[in-house]
Each structure stands twice: as structure tokens, then as C-alpha cells.
Amino acid sequence: MKVRGFEVVRGYEDKGINLPVRKTKYSAAYDIEAAEDIVLPSFNKVMKPILIPTGLKVYMQSDEVLLIVPRSSSLKKQGISFPHSIGVIDSDYYGNSDNDGHIFVQCINLKNEEVLIKKGETVGQAIFQKYLTVDDDNSDRIRVGGFGSTDKR
């Protein structure tokens, strides 16, 4: 029985995607890599975040969430930051009909010049967490899409 883990998303099977790993025995997070080379324009020029594809999807228990957080060195080394500080991947995002559960890392480039993120370069970290619900929670809606779909009906 599968409990939690990463898989390569549909369409990226032959692109040499590395599954995330923890770098040390006591690391809390799994390093997430870019699935392809991508140029991040300066935020001053585009004024919007850029989605970096990872080529990954994740499965987990229904009471778990995957948090995508920036690396502590990302701003200093790459000049990139997360516009929302943290990404949330719900358990029902896995295998959705829109994009098979493809995880993207949303970034902004705070440098004045373009930044090239190379395939295989770490662009974020992933942390599995349990979550709690309130006593009167009664949500029974089913996800109907991919990225940004939790408010779709």
C-alpha cells in the first residue's frame, strides 16, 4: 500500500526527472528541482510570478498536505523568492484531470536582470504535514481541476 511519495507526472516520463530526496538524515524537507531550463524575467519587467515546472506529482493520505517552501539560500544565490511565501498541495490534487497533479513552483525574480534556472537546479523544498479540521467541517466538494482549482464548482 502506498502511503506518501513522489512520482513523475504524465508527459515527463522520459525527461530524466529526479524524485525529491532529503539531503541529510534529519532534514525535514525534500528538495524539488526544475524539470527544464527556464528563464525568469525580472519582476520589475513582467510584474507577475512565473511557474517553474517540476515534472512531479505527489500522493499522500487524505489528512495530509504538502507544503512547498523556499530554500533559505534561494534569494541570495538565485535572486528568486516565492510571492506567496508557501505553496499548498492538497491530497486531492494528485492525478487531477487538468494536469495529472503536476506541481509547479511559483517564483518571482527580484534581480534587475533575467535569471536562468537550469534543469535539475533546486527551486524549493517540500514538507509533508498532517492537518486538522474544525468540529463542524462538512465540505464534501470534489476537486474538478488542477492548479488554482479549489474554488471551481
| pLDDT tens sequence across 24-59 | 999 999 999 999 999 999 999 999 999 999 999 999
CB count in 10 Å sphere of residue 52: 22
Look up the pTM and report it: 0.88
Q: How does residue 78 score in pLDDT terms, banded at 50, 70 and 90?
A: confident
| pLDDT tens sequence across 109-149 | 999 999 999 999 999 999 999 999 999 998 877 757 655 55
Say how far apart CA 85 and CA 106 lie, in whole Å: 10
Backbone φ and ψ of 12, nearest 5°: -115, 10
| pLDDT tens sequence across 83-114 | 888 999 999 999 998 999 999 999 999 999 99
Domain spanning 5-130: CATH 2.70.40.10: yes
Residue carrying C-alpha cell 534569494: 75
Q: Are 17 and 74 in contact (CB under 8 A)?
A: no
| Per-domain boundaries in the chain | 5-130
